Structures are given as structure tokens and as C-alpha cells.
Amino acid sequence: MSLPDAPITIRPLHAADEDAWRALWTGYLDYYETAVTEEVYRVTFKRLLSGDDTEFHGLVALVDDKPVGLVHYLFHRHCWKVENVCYLQDLYTDPALRGRGVGRALIEAVYAEADKAGAPAVYWLTQEFNYAGRMLYDRVGVKTPFIRYNRPS
């Protein structure tokens, strides 16, 4: 077990993180009661490491040198702006490490990456009933009145 005050480090996802990344991301997908194919695990991990600006980027949070959280984020066009904006997706913290600030550190690291990239906005979507998440999001972000509609499947 890590000590309650062990420091949190955030760094870009590395190729060597694959096993830990798979475990964390599976936890995230489980939360949404979904699952993806082996192909999606492989393709997404490869894209996250590609360094290509049109792909999602990944950060991991480390405690005691072990990945305990992840976040994926994408820069994309926005018609209202010259600069790209940043879409933060797939934020997850190992349940055993909750309450220490891992989620907040990951969001703030994405803010820093957005600043470096000159992206004037960062946003994310969450389910209205994700109470635990929203307790954090209300502190580090601002709720908007925007809701999401999908094409019917």
C-alpha cells in the first residue's frame, strides 16, 4: 500500500505502460458498463503514443511509480475560434487511490497541456448522475447548460 501522502506525479503515457493502461482503462469502461474489442485496445493505445496532433493524447498519474490514473485528451477545431480547443475524455482513477487528488491532478495537467498548445478552452462531458465526478468537476470546472444528443442507434 502507498502512504496516504505519497506524492502524485503526472507524465505522458509510455509504451511500457501498456499493461497498467489496459487495467485502468478497463476500470473506466466498466464504470460506463461498456467494453471494447481487443482491436480497439490495440488501435487506441497505438494512437495515444503516436504523437500525432490529430490523435488523442494520454497522461498517467503515478503514485509510488505505479500508474493509478489516466486521462485522454484531443485537440480539435472549433468554428468559433482560430485556435484548437481541448476535449478531455476518459478520466479515471484507481478506486483504491480515490480521494487523494489524482483526478484533480490529471485535469490540471490537461489544463497545462492546453496552455502549452495555445488551446483557449478545455471541456468534457459527464453523466448528470456522476455524483462523485461532479463533486470534483464543480471545484475545477464550470457546469454549462449544454446537454448531449445522439443520433439514434
Residue found by looking up cell 498517467 in the block: 60
Residue found by looking up cell 462531458 in the block: 125
Using CB under 8 A as the binding rule, whether residue 57 contacts its own copies is answered as no
Helix (H, G, I), strand (E, B) or coil at 49: coil
For the CB of residue 13, give the shortest distance to its own copies in the complex, in Å: 12
Candidates 8, 72, 102, 113: give the one binding its own copies (CB under 8 A).
72
Identify whether the C-beta of residue 48 lies closer than 8 Å to the C-beta of residue 103. Answer: no
Using CB under 8 A as the binding rule, whether residue 76 contacts its own copies is answered as yes
What do you get for the CA distance between the two ends of the chain, in Å?
44
From the list 4-12, 61-69, 74-82, 98-106, the region that binds its own copies by CB under 8 A is 74-82
Rank residues 63 and 122 by Cβ distance to its own copies and give the closer one. Answer: 122
Helix (H, G, I), strand (E, B) or coil at 7: coil
φ, ψ for residue 83, nearest 5 deg: -80, 160
Which grid cell sits at 99?
480521494
Q: Which residues bind its own copies (CB under 8 A)?
A: 29, 34, 36, 39-40, 43-44, 47-48, 54-56, 72, 74, 76-82, 87, 89-90, 111, 114, 121-129, 131-132, 134-135, 137-138, 140-153
